[in-house]
Amino acid sequence: MPANIREIKGRIKAVGNIQRITKTMQLIASARFQKLQKRATEAQAYTRKVAEVVGEVASSLGGEDVNLPLATPPSRKSGKELLLILSASRGFCGSYNANVMRPAIQHIQSLGPDKVDNEIVGKKGVALMKFSRLEVGTFHDHIGDTPMYDDVQALAQRYMDGFIAGEFDAVRVAYMRFVSMSKQTPEVMQLLPLEPPKADADQTEASGTAGTTNYEFSPNAEELLGELLPITVKSTLYQAFNEAAVSEQLARMVAMKAATDAAGKVGKTLKRQYNRARQAAITTELSEIIAGAAALE
């Protein structure tokens, strides 16, 4: 067998192996995506309901002056912000990590690296920060592909304690927001100070009940918000983690499908080249046999 035919045959085998690997990774990412999407959808319903309750309680206060540390910027400015970046720990997910890090790095550079304390989830985020020659702050290596509520709750509590103590003026989260299967948007979300959601004005006007509904709270509305706002911060941060995990698996699923399709096309091209080379070799051998037979006559 000629050397070029052996080489093409080896490449066909290698491409076939790659195609099987990428197909397997695609199937794994698809299964994880479905599982995480279900969990994110369930958590989103809880987060939305908590926001609705907070909106109702906040609207009952009207213009009253209340003491809500989590919803009020600190009186004494520290001049620093905290930025939590949610990246992936694994690759093979296309431009997912670059898309997450781009607005995060732009935010850091716009304020100044000395005015932003960063914390990173995911090894890829650490690598891109070093590539951008930015100092890496705290790296949370204990949070994996499937974020657990207890881990996120501990982070949120630490952020709230630090914000109330005046260690930083704001807490933001850079992550990939999952909108739909066809749309994921990188976003730098403000977590603290928390703005209590307002009641839906359109819905209120449509029902014709604007300003006519009164609620009685026990305990009072201010005390209720004091309990509800920490829950809102924790659930909002947990939802961000869930959406980032869903977006990562979707990006990996799409990237592996593209790699599988590309490997299939390369395999077909190599098979055509192999058949042509083999046919050329057979033709050459037949020509040599015929020429040798003619020389013996």
Task: Write out pLDDT tens, residues 121-136.
Answer: 999 999 999 999 999 9
74 and 44, same structural domain?
yes
What is residue 16's predicted lDDT score, i.e. its pLDDT? Answer: 95
152 and 7, same structural domain?
no
What is residue 66's predicted lDDT score, i.e. its pLDDT? Answer: 66
Pair of tokens at residue 131: 């590539």
The better pLDDT of the pair 18, 208 is held by 18
The strands making up 138-139's β-sheet, listed across from edge to edge, are 138-139, 116-121, 81-86, 170-180, 183-192
128 and 270, same structural domain?
no
114 and 194, same structural domain?
yes
185 and 289, same structural domain?
no
202 and 176, same structural domain?
yes
112: left (phi over 0), alpha (psi -120 to 50) or beta: left
* Banded model confidence at residue 141, pLDDT cuts 50, 70, 90: confident
Q: What is the mean pLDDT of residues 167-183?
A: 93
What is residue 225's predicted lDDT score, i.e. its pLDDT? Answer: 82
129 and 36, same structural domain?
yes
96 and 12, same structural domain?
no
What is residue 99's predicted lDDT score, i.e. its pLDDT? Answer: 96
What is residue 146's predicted lDDT score, i.e. its pLDDT? Answer: 85
What is residue 65's predicted lDDT score, i.e. its pLDDT? Answer: 62
Q: Tell whether the model's pLDDT for residue 9 goes beyond 50.
A: yes
271 and 176, same structural domain?
no
Q: Tell whether the model's pLDDT for residue 200 goes beyond 80.
A: no
Q: Judging by DSSP bridges, how do beta strands 170-180 and 138-139 pair with one another?
A: unpaired
Q: What is the mean pLDDT of residues 147-167?
A: 93
Q: Tell whether the model's pLDDT for residue 173 goes beyond 60.
A: yes
Q: Give the span between the Cα atoms of 49 and 169, in whole angstroms.
A: 27
Q: What is the span of the domain harbouring residue 10?
A: 3-17+260-296
210 and 142, same structural domain?
yes
Q: Tell whether the model's pLDDT for residue 180 goes beyond 70.
A: yes
Element (H, E) at 281: helix 221-296
* Banded model confidence at residue 58, pLDDT cuts 50, 70, 90: confident
Work out the angle at residue 212's Cα, subtended by the Cα atoms of residues 209 and 215, and round it to the nearest 5 degrees: 115
Residue 127's CB: how many other CB atoms inside 10 A? 16
Q: In this predicted model, what pLDDT tens digit does every residue of 59-70 receive, in sequence order?
A: 776 656 667 788
Q: Tell whether the model's pLDDT for residue 207 goes beyond 50.
A: no
Q: What is the CATH number of the domain that holds 125?
A: 3.40.1380.10
Q: Tell whether the model's pLDDT for residue 205 goes beyond 70.
A: no
Q: Tell whether the model's pLDDT for residue 39 goes beyond 60.
A: yes
270 and 187, same structural domain?
no
Number of domains composing the chain: 2
Q: Tell whether the model's pLDDT for residue 266 goes beyond 70.
A: yes
192 and 118, same structural domain?
yes
Tell me which residue of 121, 119, 133 sits closest to 88, measured CA to CA: 121
Confirm if 175 and 243 have CB atoms less than 8 A apart.
yes
Question: How far from the centroid of its chain's Cα atoms is residue 212's Cα?
Answer: 42
Confirm if 122 and 86 have CB atoms less than 8 A apart.
yes
Q: What is the mean pLDDT of residues 225-237?
A: 90
What is residue 12's predicted lDDT score, i.e. its pLDDT? Answer: 94
**Among 39-43, 72-76, 120-124, where is mean pLDDT lowest?**
72-76
**Among 6-20, 26-40, 63-77, 226-240, where is mean pLDDT lowest?**
63-77
What is residue 143's predicted lDDT score, i.e. its pLDDT? Answer: 87
Q: Tell whether the model's pLDDT for residue 213 goes beyond 60.
A: no
What is residue 53's predicted lDDT score, i.e. its pLDDT? Answer: 82
